[in-house]
A and B are shown apart, each in its own frame.
Chain A
């Protein structure tokens, strides 16, 4: 009997707004290549949302791959592991891609990739064991946000959480690592789901992807028929390809018809959302015990010589990865960490890959990258496309006027900075920047 029941479902809830973007999934059919071990890796202590870790090694220490090198006693945090074997050459501050400064441990590789002898599959006999194991693995949401995964799973048992959503939407253009995960490691995904289901017993587990990825579903469907697990809560769901379908709140609405109220968490409406790559990692970790020390990323964009999907040790220098992809074929004008809609523009490629980064995109100059900024003509496109029901054009005005009262009334804090407004603005206004300014204005007022 099929474990994935009812064939492929279609979305339950209908979201408003959103935009149709060019998918540019150029790397979709390129298998993930493994990059050679780099000479050195830089491992920031802050690769997640929450408390930064404190280094547990010092300069001169010899470390094994998979050994913990940074940890925190705070709950919302995730330990950092050595991603190569070698010698710690420095512990000091580095700039992260987002402009923040973080302590980082730099390890010079000995080229042996010797795994720590302590690595063994974790013993999991209960829900608490599983949560601990996920924490020990160092897993954070691999889809981009970097929220520690064990925190997501750590909701009270009586909270009424009945749905696990596996997010394979990958609605950002260019990025294909989640798609590759489905094609290349479907069994890991299902193993991850089964192990979570064993202790959590969600009423339904929905694997949701946009309708431009039918091949991923075919593979998942086939593999689930072949194995002998009899958990029939797992369902596949296809969603319309419309950015920002993969955003957590959009995902929950599409998959269940539930809306997360402002300031609330998915668990408040009975849902947990995990990225498909994160679930596959849990599947692998439980059988091997190897923590999160490498990840797949998409390297693409109009300036990259040979776009690729590559698996790299975390902490690898971005320039090394670009060089592995043949370097540039044209001078890049903008290099982005993540997708074009929500990614961060880099000022330098001399920065390490962190756990939550899923793409490096390098673009040559083009007319869609930059648009002449003109005055707002109140055309209302930003309002039409806002998935959160906000009025970006008014928010810009209120933010400039520091009108905290009206900003709060309009609900600025539900803005997730998806960029749909700025994308569709014919006057090229930097609306996401104004949304951030508005949030800051509100925050500062709250402090007073």
Chain B
């Protein structure tokens, strides 16, 4: 008998879930926001998205090749990074800047640390932060959605810029009505200035629901992140719920909390760790928004918490089955 049998360690059954499948789900969850962005900001948006996706894939392929590592395009993670990076850019960004963003995300942040699963900060967010500090003007020129009839984009201020400093006012409601903010309905549908993927709350929430139904992400981080911002803003806004709603719908909070803070690689694995991570992101975001000179703090909050992940993980390592808490015997000893 000469049969070739495979011998391997147990288990001999595997679930049908694959890395590629998970990444495909993330891509699908990002599509509603992508479609909305093209409708809102015009066909040029498609060029921005295509540029980041294609350049991310290319950089991934080339850096793996040059570093003599296996080709990992099949896991689709480069496409996810490209999509999310484009979501973090204004629709008017020069395309060569978008390519620089892709280079930072894929080559410097991801592949130079070993590729998928090894980077310690979120690639797209790091790229956004570096682009913002390098090209502040291009990175903060917002166009008004659906207003392209004259051929030239109409620029507008972002709602966060309008909200800046408002907590110092005595009468927040009055200050808000004078600030020239879009209506709440416009905020929900995303008819406001902002990065191309972050504006439409409805599209982002559809993506969120899809990720939850497909069990790709755990809701803990988005909920604690947004919840913390809500509580903080409720206090900072002296109980003005209108203000809280604007803060949640403004800037990149939903995009960041749903799609970037939940990045597997750069967030804690344990549920307890996820709670700490989410609250930390929420606090830093709020502090930057209320007290900082920058209008937006989502990117910085996530990147700061990314760096803390190993320590959060160490704090929240679960106790193995059946182990009892060790009594602190050293208590009585001299310090």
How far apart are the CA atoms of A417 and B8 in the complex, in Å?
14
- Inside 8 A of A409's CB, which chain B residues have their CB? 317
How far apart are the CA atoms of A196 and B274 in the complex, in Å?
49
- Inside 8 A of A433's CB, which chain B residues have their CB? 9
- CB-based A-B contact count at 8 angstroms: 164
The smallest C-beta distance from B225 to any residue of chain A, in angstroms, reads: 17
Identify which of A345, A378, A409 gathers the most chain B CB atoms within 10 Å of its CB: A378
- Inside 8 A of A368's CB, which chain B residues have their CB? 13-16
Q: Check if B19 is an interface residue, CB within 8 A of chain A.
A: yes
- Inside 8 A of A350's CB, which chain B residues have their CB? 1
The stretch from A63-71, A80-88, A127-135, A333-341 touching chain B is: A333-341
The stretch from A102-110, A204-212, A383-391 touching chain B is: A383-391
User: B19 touching A363 by the CB < 8 A rule?
Assistant: no
User: B3 touching A379 by the CB < 8 A rule?
Assistant: no
- Inside 8 A of A341's CB, which chain B residues have their CB? 10-13
Q: Check if B334 is an interface residue, CB within 8 A of chain A.
A: no
Contacts of A423-439 to chain B: CB distance below 8 A: 423-428, 430, 432-433, 436
Main secondary structure of the interface of A (DSSP, over half): loop
User: B18 touching A249 by the CB < 8 A rule?
Assistant: no
Question: In the complex, which range does the number of interface residues on chain B fall in?
Answer: 35 or more
Closest to B15 in A: A424
Q: Check if B115 is an interface residue, CB within 8 A of chain A.
A: yes
The smallest C-beta distance from B239 to any residue of chain A, in angstroms, reads: 37
Contacts of A370-424 to chain B: CB distance below 8 A: 370-372, 374-381, 383, 387-391, 393-394, 409-411, 414, 417, 419, 422-424
Q: Check if A93 is an interface residue, CB within 8 A of chain B.
A: no
Identify which of A22, A249, A261 gathers the most chain B CB atoms within 10 Å of its CB: A261
- Inside 8 A of A319's CB, which chain B residues have their CB? 1
The smallest C-beta distance from A250 to any residue of chain B, in angstroms, reads: 9
Q: Check if A141 is an interface residue, CB within 8 A of chain B.
A: no
- Inside 8 A of B72's CB, which chain A residues have their CB? 374-375
The smallest C-beta distance from B326 to any residue of chain A, in angstroms, reads: 11
User: B21 touching A393 by the CB < 8 A rule?
Assistant: no
User: B15 touching A261 by the CB < 8 A rule?
Assistant: no
The smallest C-beta distance from A321 to any residue of chain B, in angstroms, reads: 15
User: A379 touching B264 by the CB < 8 A rule?
Assistant: yes
User: A417 touching B270 by the CB < 8 A rule?
Assistant: no
User: B319 touching A331 by the CB < 8 A rule?
Assistant: no
Point out the residue from B10, B16, B18, B270 that lies within 8 Å of A342, measured CB to CB: B10
- Inside 8 A of B265's CB, which chain A residues have their CB? 377-378
- Inside 8 A of A428's CB, which chain B residues have their CB? 14, 18
Point out the residue from B11, B270, B323 that lies within 8 Å of A383, measured CB to CB: B270
Q: Check if B151 is an interface residue, CB within 8 A of chain A.
A: no
- Inside 8 A of A375's CB, which chain B residues have their CB? 72, 114-118
- Inside 8 A of B11's CB, which chain A residues have their CB? 340-342, 419, 422-423, 432
Which 5 residue pairs of A and B lie closest in terms of their CB atoms, listed nearest first? A411-B320, A419-B11, A380-B269, A259-B322, A433-B9
